[in-house]
């Protein structure tokens, strides 16, 4: 059964698949880490994270009788379509939330027929500890940039998965930490947002201020260092990034002319209609035109 499940998810287009047990997950240590992150205020204004904390720490609140998780990754490529426009690479591809949702729902329809069971799908769409489950499923390790780094495709991967009440044979957790003495991400982060415990203080993170913070203007102390949406610094300096192919997984490839030759002046002159026409189906759409314009006008 595990082999068939993995084969079908690979056939659907995911780059890697791993299985882990949800019995005894999360551990006391993980609960402590996540709770301490919130109590320390490192979630900034992400109230949704605080509100969903107990569900995040108990997968059976999302699927009664949840016994196993099947985790998947998809890489988004190393290439910048338009290096002059500082929009993070994953955001210049198709919106992975939609791509993963469609593929994982197709998987569930197949699985319900072929192997039985009940399922709950997610990809940055529910209170789930996706990175930790990916490590436990053998897909990679938590890098010093707090992201999942995979041995074959580096850190430039996106995550998703399903919970199921099927008791599946788990893969072994990824046994190595291949960051070694490299500290490039921690040193390169323009705002010192990465702590020595492989966690990110969102209050300092350019990605947080440019994507998640919805205020009309940014606090005067906040600089986006020229980023318009997200930030890739802790990814771009990672030596494991060499493993990522130039172009994204075909399922994530967006129309390149959307971003080619686009300038911040073009965006500042854009109306909602043009913004929607151009960015429909990409993660940039989630921030909205006013937030993107705010970011362009922000302190460098």
The residue ranges that bind ligand B12 (CB under 6 A) are: 30, 33-34, 37, 49, 88, 90, 123-124, 128-132, 135, 142, 145-148, 155, 157-160, 197-200, 202, 205, 207-208, 211-212, 230-232, 234-235
Q: How far is the CB of 50 from ligand B12 (least distance, A)?
A: 11
- Considering beta carbons, is residue 168 or 224 the nearer one to ligand B12? 224
Q: How far is the CB of 269 from ligand B12 (least distance, A)?
A: 25
Say how far apart CA 167 and CA 58 lie, in whole Å: 17
The residue of the chain with the least Cβ separation from ligand B12 equals 230
Tally helices (H) and strands (E) across the chain: 13, 6
171 is catalytic: no
Q: How far is the CB of 2 from ligand B12 (least distance, A)?
A: 22
Q: How far is the CB of 129 from ligand B12 (least distance, A)?
A: 5
- Considering beta carbons, is residue 115 or 152 the nearer one to ligand B12? 152
- Considering beta carbons, is residue 147 or 166 the nearer one to ligand B12? 147
Phi, psi of 70 (to 5 degrees): -115, 115
Q: How far is the CB of 29 from ligand B12 (least distance, A)?
A: 8
- Considering beta carbons, is residue 162 or 234 the nearer one to ligand B12? 234
**What length is written for the chain?**
300
Q: CA 264, 45, 199 angle in degrees (round to 5)? A: 90
**HEC sequence for 13-41:** CCCEEEEEECCCCCCHHHHHHHHHHHHCC
**Segment (H or E) for 72:** strand 68-75
Nearest to 160, CA basis, from 128, 188, 184: 128
Helix orientation angle between 289-297 and 272-279, rounded to the nearest 10 degrees: 100
Residues 6+ apart with CB under 8 A from 158: 73, 74, 75, 76, 90, 96, 100, 123, 124, 252
- Considering beta carbons, is residue 21 or 30 the nearer one to ligand B12? 30
Of 24, 124, 257, 265, the active-site residue reads 124
Catalytically active residues are 124
């Amino acid at each position: 059964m595990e082999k068939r499940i993995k084969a079908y998810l690979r056939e659907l287009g995911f780059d890697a698949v791993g299985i882990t047990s949800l019995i005894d997950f999360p551990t006391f240590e993980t609960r402590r880490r996540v709770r301490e992150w919130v109590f320390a205020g490192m979630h900034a204004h992400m109230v949704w994270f605080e509100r969903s904390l107990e569900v995040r720490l108990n997968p059976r609140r999302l699927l009664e009788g949840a016994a196993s998780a099947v985790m998947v990754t998809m890489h988004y490529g190393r290439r910048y379509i338009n290096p002059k426009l500082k929009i993070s690479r994953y955001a210049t591809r198709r919106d992975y939330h939609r791509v993963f949702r469609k593929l994982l729902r197709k998987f569930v329809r197949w699985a319900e027929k072929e192997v039985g069971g009940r399922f709950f799908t997610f990809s940055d769409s529910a209170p789930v500890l996706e990175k930790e489950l990916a490590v436990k499923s053998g897909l990679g390790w938590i890098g010093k940039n707090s992201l999942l780094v995979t041995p074959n495709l580096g850190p430039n991967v996106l995550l998703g998965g399903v919970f199921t009440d099927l008791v599946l044979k788990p893969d072994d957790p990824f046994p190595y930490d291949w960051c070694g003495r490299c500290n490039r991400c921690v040193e390169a982060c323009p705002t010192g947002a990465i702590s020595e415990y492989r966690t990110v203080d969102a209050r300092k993170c350019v990605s947080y201020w440019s994507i998640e913070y919805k205020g009309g203007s940014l606090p005067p102390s906040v600089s986006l260092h020229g980023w318009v949406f997200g930030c890739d610094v802790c990814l771009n300096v990672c030596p494991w990034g060499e493993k990522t192919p130039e172009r994204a997984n075909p399922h994530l490839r967006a129309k390149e002319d959307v971003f080619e030759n686009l300038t911040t002046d073009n965006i500042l002159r854009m109306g909602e209609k043009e913004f929607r026409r151009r960015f429909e189906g990409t993660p940039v759409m989630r921030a909205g035109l006013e937030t993107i314009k705010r970011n362009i006008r922000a302190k460098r």
